[in-house]
Amino acid sequence: MIATQIRLSRPGEMAVSWDDRHQSVISLRTLRDHCPCAGCQGETVLLHSYAPVEQPALPGKYDLKGAEVVGHYALQLRWGDGHDTGIYPWEVLRGLCECPECLNRRAASGIGRNLP
């Protein structure tokens, strides 16, 4: 699956069109709170730990300032607080979809919203 169009659909929300015609809707808060970068996911070489880390709410944390496609497989987002190390592979981005269809499918299968 490949994203064919990415845009801000309304304030605080990103819309993603996919090559299978699915239309994803993802809040910017969800995107930021599920940043896949090593720092946000708690991967630290020094501590040998791999637990997600609660990030402080810095000014601009949820303000999307830019997005760039990485190769043919992912999207890199730049946030208002300067954070820009998260690279969201298409599968992760699709797994964060909050459209009614995806939310219902995850609820029916018992998969939590936190799991991309």
- Return the CATH number at 66: 3.30.2020.30
58 versus 32: the higher-pLDDT residue is 32
Asked whether the predicted pLDDT for residue 4 surpasses 80, the reply is yes
pLDDT given at position 110: 80
Q: How confident is the model at residue 55 (pLDDT cuts 50, 70, 90)?
A: low
pLDDT given at position 72: 93
Q: Give me the residue label for tokens 């954070």.
A: 83
Residue type, 28: L
Write out the residue range of the structural domain in which residue 55 sits.
3-109
Q: What is the mean pLDDT of residues 82-92?
A: 95
* d(C-alpha 112, C-alpha 12), whole Å: 22
pLDDT given at position 87: 97
DSSP assigned state of 18: E
* 86 domain-assigned: yes
Structurally, the chain folds into a number of domains equal to: 1
pLDDT given at position 44: 61
* 50 domain-assigned: yes
